[in-house]
Structures are given as structure tokens and as C-alpha cells.
Amino acid sequence: MRERLLYEQEIINEMNTALEKEQFEVWFQPIYNHSSGARVGAEALVRWRHPIHGLIPPNELIPTFERNGFVYELDKYVWESVCKYLRTWLDEGIDSLLVSVNISRYDLLKDDLYDVIVGLVNKYNLPISMLRIEITESAFAKDNRRVLDVVKLFVYYGFTVEIDDFGVGYSSLNTLKDVPAQVLKIDMSFLSTHYDGASQSGEQRISRGGTILESVVRMAKWLGMAVIAEGVETVEQANYLKSIGCDYVQGYLYARPMPAHEYIQHIVGVRKEEKLLTVELVENYDNNKFWDPTSLDTLVFNTYVGGACIIELHNDHIEILRANDKFAKMVGGENCTIKDILSLNLEDHICDHSRETFFDSVHETLRTCEDVVCELQFLDLYEKGRETYLHTTMRVIARTTTRSLFYMACFNITQHKLAERHKLLVRQQLQAIMSNVVGGISATIIDNDGKINFIFANDYFYSMLGYTEQQYHKEVDNPLVLVVPEDLGRVKKIISSLT
């Protein structure tokens, strides 16, 4: 601890001189579209080339500088350096593409932050799209209006804002709905404990963390945001990211952060991508309201008495993107969580006849944009042997040319369905017994006034009395008329003793 304190003190003592002597270096780490192989830009990362300690990584500096306020001075230096590089490269005809710079959450509290950044872009006469702004998710954690206002100002002015270090909490997308950021950066290292890599069978297995990443990627796309995965270190991670449609990557697998001259050499000859890809909604049923934590739709979604979920349809494949707690409990029982539900593959469990019903309903709501009601049967949902019937109302909320998004409100009607089936079974069994018995059987209700109501008789009953079924019902309105008069008293006595 003593050593740490001394080291920290040394850093503090020397930081101002270091800035004057230009000992801080800006390094660049490229960002790629790994599906197309194109480059999309870089992130600027600071290092201190210390005369004695050598290259000091930012993790050893930034926390101290954030505590003593120096971070703003350093960041201004980094931003200006980046702008200078961009200007030089433009002048040299090198299409270096955009660069993202980090903005500490402490910078966001400075009154002149906006003026400083706009001033730099103007001073170096850069297209506004070349400088991107990275703000860590935690800066928005405490519903900070001020932070939000600054970010809005940047976006309004035309900057692209990226939310850095977006965590695994899928629900935090909700809290970020108010942030008008265009890019979400997800750090793979946050997922490393969930990411299993190769299993013993040599097969890829992505655990629940992966599934949550997937739903974050999809939701971000539905919000019109691009997603960059950073800290990508393995081919398995890269393949998985491709499989879930996360095309933008930054990580050691592709390139480490490097000094400016290396960066320029590195990207020479690599095709560039002009614009980040995002899903474009061709029709939008107030989709965004759905992710807004304060919107009525969301409140209804979360507090809805029944279960509800949001599913995506793509190439006739369905996947759950969001579910409320009620839905989880309804489908998986008391111990089932929303996370469990999100890792569930609904398609594996829907029964064949229900699959047809489901897709018919889906296509109908797509055609009419109206609510469509259907009953669906699922098998082995969450637990082996579990049978689930859901009464479902679905509605399309958004769609693109290739994907659609649906809202499903569900009631669990399993008990009712099972009881109904049980009743039917009993009736069928009874019928089978009665028609096979050699003997007449009839069921009759005699009410309190002595009125007789016929319920049922088997074939033998009619034939034994010498009637067909039709004849019997035409001619006999009261079975007691068939009893010989001297027995009538006895029969009535027996009946009254039974009732």
C-alpha cells in the first residue's frame, strides 16, 4: 500500500511536466467489420512514456487523474492530438476514417466541455463525423440530467456518441433509452465468466451470458444502434459474434493498440466502410416507446397481470428478446427467471400443430396489424415433461424487410386444458364401457318434483325393450310407464330410497 501511495504521488508530482514535455502518447486500436473485412475506424487510447518507468498503461493513471481532476487536462490534450493526427492524415490524402475518443465521466461535469470539443473540430477543420465520443455506461447510472443534456447537445451538433463498457445487464438498455447514443460498445471481458468456449465434445457452447449478449445485440439493433464488441480475443468469440449479427469488433485478435505511425501502416490497403450498419425500420409502430422505461407500454409490460414477451421473427425462426417476470413464472414455474426464459429456444418446444397456428397468427397480424388471438401448446418448457398451454394475443410492433418484432400477451390455460382433456377422456372411457356391457344401462335425473329427465342409455337398453333409439324417444317420455303396474310401487320406493 505504501509503495502504491508513493507511486501515485510520483505520478501526481510529474503529471504536469509530463504534459508539457509531451510524454503522453496517443495510440490507436483499429475497429473492423469482421463480416466484410472492412475497417471502420479506431479508438484513441492514451499511454505515458515515462522516462524511468517506461510505458505506463492508462489503467494505472486514469483512476488517479480522475480523483485529482487532472483527467480533464489530459483528455483535452488527447483530443487535440487526435484532431491533429486526423488533419495531417487528411492533408496527406490518407483516409484514416473516424476515431473514437474517451470522455471521462468527470469531463462531463465541466461547463466548457462542449465548447472545447466543438472548438477543436473547428480549429482543425474536421468533418464532424470523424471524431466520435465514447462515454462509459456508468456515467448515466445515476439518472444524471446534466450528463444527459451534454450528450444530447453533442448528438444535436452531429457527433456520434458511443456508450462504452455496456454491461451484461440486459435491463440496463431500458435505463439507457433516454440516451440518444448511436453506438453500443460491449466488452467481451465482462462476459468471460459466462463464456464457456469449447466444451469437452469439441462443440461450441455459449452459456446464458452469451444469450444475454445476443438479446442485447438484437435490442440495440431494434433501437437503431450499431454494436461494437471490444476485447475480442479468440476465434470462438469472433464466430459467435458473427452468428448473432454483431459485425463490429475491436480486440487483440485483430490488432492491439499501436502508435499512430504503425496504425497508418496497418490500415493501408484495407477497404474502408463508410457507414455503420444498423437495422432500418420500414414501418415503425411506435417501437421506441416500447423500450422507454417511462412509457405506458413499458409500464404495462412490467406490471401486466399476465405474462408478456417480445419475440423476433427472422427467416421463420422465432426468438424471445424480452419477457416480463410473470411470463417467466408462467412458463417455467416459481423458480424460473427472466434470464432463464431468454436462454430458452421456444421453437424446440412448440408442438407441431401449434407451430402452424403460431405462424398463421403471425402472418395475420403482419397483414392486418391487428391483435390476433390463438392457443398454443408447448412441451418440456424449462422442465422435462412439462406441458404448457398458452392463450396468446399477439401484435406486430415493428418490422424491417427481413425481421419483425411481436408483442405477445399470454395467459396460462394449462390447468383448464388438462381438466378439459381429463373430462373428455373419462367420458370416452365411460362410453366405451357402456357400449361393451351386455345389459341395459340408462342414466336419468329425477328432480325434486318427481320430474324425469333422460340423460343417456346404451344400445342394449333400447334393444332389450324392443325399441330403436328414435322410437323410444318418440313414444316413451317417462320410463316409468314401461314398468308393469304391480311393480310400480316398489320401483318408486327404491327411487325415493336412493334420493
Phi-psi group of 425: left, alpha or beta (phi > 0 → left; psi -120 to 50 → alpha; rest → beta)? alpha
- Beta strand pairing status for 258-259 and 283-284? unpaired
Binder of residue 252, out of Ca ion, ligand C2E, none (CB less than 5 to 8 A by kind): ligand C2E
Minimal distance, residue 252 CB to ligand C2E, in Å = 3
Task: Verify binding: residue 45, ligand C2E, rule CB under 6 A.
Answer: yes
CA distance readout (Å), 419 to 352, 357, 362, 374, 389: 22, 22, 28, 19, 12
Whole-number Å distance between alpha carbons of 336 and 334:
6
Q: Which of residues 1-40 bind ligand C2E (CB under 6 A)?
A: 29
Binder of residue 361, out of Ca ion, ligand C2E, none (CB less than 5 to 8 A by kind): none
Binder of residue 215, out of Ca ion, ligand C2E, none (CB less than 5 to 8 A by kind): none
Element (H, E) at 240: helix 235-243
Task: Verify binding: residue 138, ligand C2E, rule CB under 6 A.
Answer: no
Question: Among the candidate windows 33-41, 100-108, 253-261, 453-461, which touches Ca ion by CB under 5 A?
Answer: 100-108
Minimal distance, residue 189 CB to ligand C2E, in Å = 6
Task: Verify binding: residue 102, ligand C2E, rule CB under 6 A.
Answer: yes
Task: Verify binding: residue 81, ligand C2E, rule CB under 6 A.
Answer: no
Task: Verify binding: residue 104, Ca ion, rule CB under 5 A.
Answer: no
Minimal distance, residue 219 CB to ligand C2E, in Å = 21
Residues ≥6 apart with Cβ < 8 Å to 312:
218, 222, 318, 319, 321, 403, 404, 405, 406
Nearer to ligand C2E, 257 or 332 (CB): 257
Minimal distance, residue 102 CB to Ca ion, in Å = 5
Nearer to ligand C2E, 14 or 233 (CB): 233
- 373 half-sphere exposure, CB direction, 13 A CA radius: 2
Specify which residues 247 forms β-bridges with: none
Binder of residue 59, out of Ca ion, ligand C2E, none (CB less than 5 to 8 A by kind): ligand C2E
In degrees and rounded to multiples of 5, residue 162 shows phi and psi of -115, 135
* The binder of Ca ion chosen from 32, 42, 46, 134 (CB under 5 A): 134
Minimal distance, residue 203 CB to ligand C2E, in Å = 24
CB atoms within 10 A of CB 218: 23
Q: Which is nearest to 133 in space by CA: 77, 185, 60?
A: 185
x/- string (CB under 6 A) for ligand C2E, residues 233-272? x----------------xxx----x---------------
Minimal distance, residue 325 CB to Ca ion, in Å = 31
Specify which residues 407 forms β-bridges with: 310, 395
- Beta strand pairing status for 372-379 and 452-457? unpaired
Task: Give Dmax over CA atoms of the chain in angstroms.
Answer: 128
Q: For 65-104, give one letter per residue: b (16+ CB within 10 A) or e.
A: bbeeebbbebbbbbbbbbbebbeebbeeeeebbbbbbbbb
Task: Verify binding: residue 102, Ca ion, rule CB under 5 A.
Answer: yes
Residue 31: burial class (beta carbons within 10 Å; 0-12, 13-18, 19+): buried
Question: Among the candidate windows 85-93, 94-102, 344-352, 353-361, which touches Ca ion by CB under 5 A?
Answer: 94-102
Q: Binding residues for ligand C2E, per CB under 6 A?
A: 29, 45-46, 57-59, 62, 71, 75, 78, 102, 104, 164-165, 189, 230-233, 250-252, 257
Q: Binding residues for Ca ion, per CB under 5 A?
A: 102, 134, 164-165
